[in-house]
């Protein structure tokens, strides 16, 4: 699927991929949903994938709200940058080792709704004009939104499909 380049495409693809993600999860029985992956080093189960998505929603929500309020803030929190963000993902993983699977589902559903509502407050021009906001650097706000929603959901779907395939390979 092509990367969204309009607000409508962003909203539709994000919603579609979110629904696909949960349809895939719901195609597994409870044991399979909570089973440890037979692969991976960071995300070891579906809960880990869901809290990863949730944390990236939080990054997006906080970044947009702070910058729109006039407080210039980087997308990635200090001390991280685009070369060191994998360590941030590990910290997200560590932070949520006591989060239950059901909590992770609820957290992600809530943050998805919040992100979709926030995206909807922007115009197509605000979302997809490069450098419109100084705080988005050389890219567009929409590019960050795509990365935190549609594209990230696609990543999660691939990971869970791999898990599902590994269950039938045994």
Angle, helix 101-120 to helix 46-68, in steps of 10 degrees: 30
Give phi and psi for 124, each to the nearest 5: -60, -45
Per-residue model confidence as pLDDT tens digits over 34-59 = 999 998 779 999 999 999 999 999 99
- 160: tokens are 């869970």
Half-sphere exposure in the Cβ direction for 109 (13 Å, CA): 8
pTM of the model: 0.96
Fill in the DSSP letter of residue 134: G
By the 8 A CB rule, do 63 and 73 touch?
yes
Q: Looking at residues 114-140, what average pLDDT do you find?
A: 97
Domains, the chain, ranges and CATH?
44-163 (1.20.120.450)
- Residue 110: is its pLDDT beyond 70? yes
Per-residue model confidence as pLDDT tens digits over 138-153 = 999 999 999 999 999 9
């Amino acid at each position: 699927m092509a990367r969204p380049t309009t607000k409508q495409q962003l909203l539709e693809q994000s919603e579609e991929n979110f629904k696909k993600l949960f349809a895939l999860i719901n195609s597994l029985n409870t044991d399979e949903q909570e089973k440890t992956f037979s692969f991976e080093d960071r995300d070891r189960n579906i809960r880990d994938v869901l809290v990863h998505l949730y944390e990236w929603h939080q990054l997006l929500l906080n970044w947009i709200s702070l910058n729109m309020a006039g407080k210039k803030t980087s997308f990635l929190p200090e001390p991280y940058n685009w070369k060191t963000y994998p360590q941030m993902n590990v910290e997200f993983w560590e932070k949520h080792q006591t989060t239950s699977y059901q909590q992770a589902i609820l957290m992600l559903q809530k943050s998805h709704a919040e992100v979709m509502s926030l995206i909807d407050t922007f115009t197509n021009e605000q979302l997809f004009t490069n450098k419109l906001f100084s705080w988005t650097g050389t890219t567009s706000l929409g590019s960050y939104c795509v990365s935190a929603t549609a594209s990230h959901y696609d990543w999660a779907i691939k990971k869970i499909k791999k898990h599902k395939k590994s269950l039938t390979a045994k």
